[in-house]
Copies of this chain bind each other. A is one copy, B any other.
Amino acid sequence: MRKSIAVDMDGVIADEETQLLTWYEKHYGVKIHPHELIGRKEEDVVPERDAYNKFSATPGYFRTTPVMPGAIEAVKKLMENYDVYIVSAAMQYPHSLPEKLGWLNEHFPFISWRNIIFCGDKSIIGTDYMIDDHIKNLDFFKGKTIMFNAFHNVSFNHHQRVNNWDEVLGLMAGV
| Copies of this chain present | 2
Say whether, besides A94-B101, A98-B97, A101-B97, A120 and B125 are in contact (CB < 8 Å): no
Tell me, rounded to whole Å, the shortest Cβ–Cβ distance linking A71 to chain B: 20
Fill in one digit per residue for A51-74: 1 if any B CB lies within 8 Å of its CB, else 0.
000000000000000000000000
Partner of A119, one of B92, B95, B116: B116
Fill in one digit per residue for A67-102: 1 if any B CB lies within 8 Å of its CB, else 0.
000000000000000000100000110110110010
Say whether, besides A117-B117, A120-B116, A142-B126, A94 and B98 are in contact (CB < 8 Å): yes
Interface residues of A, CB < 8 Å — how many?
25
User: Which residues from B are CB-within-8-Å of A121?
Assistant: 114-115
A residues lining the B interface (CB < 8 Å) = 4, 6, 85, 91-92, 94-95, 97-98, 101, 112-121, 124-127, 142
